[in-house]
Amino acid sequence: MPAYPRPAAHPLQSRPAGCGPAHRSRQQRACRFLALLVGLWAPLGGAVAATELDYAAARTRMVEQQLASPWRGISDPAVLRAMATVPRHEFVPAEVQPYAYDDRPLPIGYAQTISQPYVVAFMTEKLRPKSTDRVLEIGTGSGYQAAILSALVNEVYSIEIVEPLARRAQGDLARLGYDNVRLRHGDGYKGWPEAAPFDAIIVTCAPDHVPQPLIDQLRDGGRMIIPVGERNDQMLYLLKKRGGELQREAVLPVRFVPMTGAVDANFGR
């Protein structure tokens, strides 16, 4: 399940590359477009509850201030559109819904969290999702990351090891109409071999190494983003499979909850 960047690497401390005037102009145009979408939504949809309008406005602020701002630098229009559309508040417990669009992770029960919006957007953008992709997610959590991917790719396969979370996420995803997401309760370390190969894999819990079954289930030319390391010393890696070999790029220091299951048994934790 997701978490948040380590403080030492907080984006406030270093502006991402590619944040010159032209880059900011593209971000501003994208944000204006998203604001227009939200402004048009209520007249087109008829009567809408005030709370839903509040949440829509909060999503727009989240995109403008947390994601597309120069110091964060999320610029993919499709990713920004998904983040502005998916109702994050529907994927958190009622008691924390007022904070759903804040720049922080939130508890979702069973000692798990939903990542702060920036981490979700960052990992999604790094995967470079395509509309034809089949994506495997390890660590469904609340289902929010799967919902974001659902808007960007053809099929999402998601595995959650905590059974009550898997049941809740499955119900929420079905209720909200994300019908291209397939979810099951199971051990993410083993992946989903009968559905492989996958164009991309996203892992939202941290093993101490990259699981071989996930490498095997990634198609040649595919991308994987995964946090690796112990709880207080983790790095987010972008992996690309080329000719059966993995190219590895460290992209962000992070803190995620540890991967559990077969990874524990195999390595004597």
At residue 51's C-alpha, the angle toward residues 45 and 56, to 5°, is 60
Quick one: fold of 4-267? Rossmann fold (3.40.50)
Q: Output the pTM of the full model.
A: 0.81
Distance CA 55, CA 42 (A): 12
- In sequence order, the 6+-apart residues with CB closer than 8 A to the CB of 174 are none
- Walk along the chain (269 residues) in steps of 10 and give the mean pLDDT of each run: 45 33 49 47 41 91 96 96 98 95 96 95 98 98 98 98 98 98 97 98 96 97 96 93 93 92 63
Domain ranges, ordered by start, for the chain: 4-267
pLDDT at 2: 47
Backbone phi, then psi, for 104, in 5-degree steps? -165, 160
List active site positions.
115
Q: Hey, which residues does 238 pair with through a beta bridge?
A: 225, 249
Amino acid in position 226: I
Lookup result for tokens 């969290």: 113
